[in-house]
Amino acid sequence: MAVETAGDETFPDIRDAVRKLCARFPGEYWRKLDAERAYPTEFVRALTESGFLSVLIPEEYGGSGLGLGAATAILEEIHRSGCNGGACHAQMYTMGTILRHGSPAQKQAYLPGIAEGTLRLQAFGVTEPTSGTDTTRIRTFAKREGDKYIVNGQKVWISRAEHSDLMLLLCRTTPRDQAAKPTEGMSVLLVDLRQAVGNGLTIRPIRTMINHATTELFFDNLEVPAENLIGQEGKGFRYILDGMNAERILIASECIGDARFFIDRASAYAREREVFGRPIGANQGIQFPIARNYVETEAANLMVQKAAAMFDAGQPCGTEANMGKMLASEASWHAADTCLQTHGGFGFAEEYDIERKFRETRLYQVAPISTNLILSHVGTHVLQMPKSF
């Protein structure tokens, strides 16, 4: 039984529809995928056909034309239902770079296909082995030669590259030491993965503790048509910032969903499980941590919703997106730990789905931005303290 929360009051029709869809994909479905390291093709197809992945695309291109608030409701309910949106959540927001900075021809060429699901744009090539989260130090370089770019370099932790038709690639077009400032000289290219693989692009899967379809990419003289440049050359870093804010807000909503999943499971088990002749939830040592998780989650959700509202209003929201992501990810991780502890040995059994969700939600302490970098952002940009790096 789900606990009533303030978040249930937003987009109730959408939430109800998502819950009904997710009911078709119970824990057994996800456990089988985990065992086989398989992609949730059927689940992604159902989300696509229901229009949930095109919610942010304007109606003129075949989407729903709704805001980020609606998207947060979708992803929260997916995760609260015990499912995982990580396989396809980038299909929602990665197209935003084209929508906001692409040419009219590019929008018309790609957005309708993305909206109907015949084109998948859910790979975002930014992180590199030697740069990590210091994006200005990426080394993947695209050299302009006539009507094409020649790309060489490497990316890592690029999720869904094997399950996407297109990828947004951030690369240098001017060396860092020759650019006016570190954030200049980077450009965004739209790479057609269907043509690139085997023709200058190699994709290598990385096996991790979660079934997240993540990979590393190797570029060896990959040719990309110059017409696939998004916006102006050298301005790419600015173009991806909005996408990063959307990503952090949406992943924060997934964390809220995870936290509510754990709270639902922990409180239900605490009511039902009897030891020493009474429900274990009557013991304050069990009850109080779950109650604290609930309080923490509700507070985090308010920050996430504030960030989403600011994004939808076109207001700068980098700080709020970061804070929302941090608070939500910590709420989900604390709730995960409490839920596992509440279930005792049963929490480690795969059939309860808690150990799977426990592993999945741990990721968000690290990605898409680590907690320490969020604290650094707040300390230096908000509180005006000196940088440590």
Residues identified as active-site: 247
| Angle ∠(158,162,168) on CA atoms, nearest 5 | 50
**Is residue 18 a contact partner of residue 74, using CB atoms and an 8 Å limit?**
yes
Tokens 């700080």 found at: 319
**Is residue 233 a contact partner of residue 183, using CB atoms and an 8 Å limit?**
no
**Is residue 84 a contact partner of residue 20, using CB atoms and an 8 Å limit?**
no
The H helix count followed by the E strand count for the chain is 13, 10
User: Nearest to residue 154, comparing CAs of 128, 125, 190?
Assistant: 128
Reduced to 3 states, what is the DSSP secondary structure of residue 31?
Answer: helix
> Residue 64's CB: how many other CB atoms inside 10 A?
18
Reduced to 3 states, what is the DSSP secondary structure of residue 11?
Answer: coil
Report how far residue 342's alpha carbon sits from residue 267's, in angstroms, rounded to the nearest whole number: 9
Reduced to 3 states, what is the DSSP secondary structure of residue 173?
Answer: coil
**What is the secondary structure of 339-389 as a DSSP string?**
HHHHHGGGGGSGGGSHHHHHHHHHGGGTSSS-HHHHHHHIIIIIS-PPP--
